[in-house]
Structure 1
Amino acid sequence: MAGLQAGSPTPTALTVHSQSRILEIAFSDGAQFKIPFELMRIYSPSAEVQGHGPGQEVLQTGKREVNVVELEPIGNYAVKPVFSDGHESGLFTWDYLYHLGADQSRLWDDYHRRLQAAGVERDAPMVAAGGHGCSTH
Structure 2
Amino acid sequence: MSLIPTDIKVRKQSQCLELTYVNNGGDDAVFQLSFELLRVYSPSAEVRGHGIGNDVLQHGKKNVVLLNIEPSGNYALKLIFDDGHDSGLYDWKYLRHLCDNKNELWQDYLERLTQAGLARESNVIQFKSL
* Cα distance in 2 between the residues matched to 1:33 and 1:8: 13
Q: Is the 8 A contact 1:9 1:28 kept in 2?
A: no
Of 14, 22, 25, which residue of structure 1 is paired with 2:19?
25
C-alpha separation in 1, matches of 2:76 and 2:22: 15
Distance apart, 1:124 and its partner CA:
4.1
Hey, what does 1:99 align to over in structure 2? 97
The one-letter code matched in structure 2 to 1:16 is V
Whose radius of gyration is greater, 1 or 2?
Answer: 2
* Partner Cα distance (2:14, 2:77) in 1: 20
On the 8 A contact 1:8/1:95 being kept in 2, the answer is no
Counterpart Cα distance in 2 of 1:33 and 1:75: 23
Q: Which string of whole-angstrom CA distances, capped at 9 and with x for unpartnered residues, describes residues 81-123 of structure 1?
A: 1001000000001111111111011001110111111111221
Please say if residues 60 and 121 of structure 2, whose CA atoms lie closer than 8 Å, have aligned partners that are also in contact: yes
Aligned to 1:56: 54
Q: What is the root-mean-square deviation of aligned Cα atoms in Å?
A: 1.6
Query: Alpha-carbon deviations, 1:32-52, whole Å to 9, x = none?
Result: 210001000000000000001
Matched, 1:15 2:9: yes
Show structure 1 runs of 5+ residues with no match.
1-6, 127-137
TM-score by length of 1: 0.82
Distance in 2 (CA, whole Å) between partners of 1:90 and 1:125 is 24
Partner of 2:128: none
Q: CA deviation at 1:8?
A: 4.7
- For normalisation by structure 2, the TM-score amounts to 0.86
User: Per-residue CA shift, 1:13-60, capped at 9, x if unaligned?
Assistant: 000112211000012333321000100000000000000112111111
Pairs aligned (count): 120
- What are the equivalent positions in structure 2 for 1:104-115 lying under 5 Å apart? 104-115=102-113
Identity of aligned residues (%): 49
Following superposition, which runs of at least 4 residues in structure 1 exceed 2 angstroms of deviation?
28-31
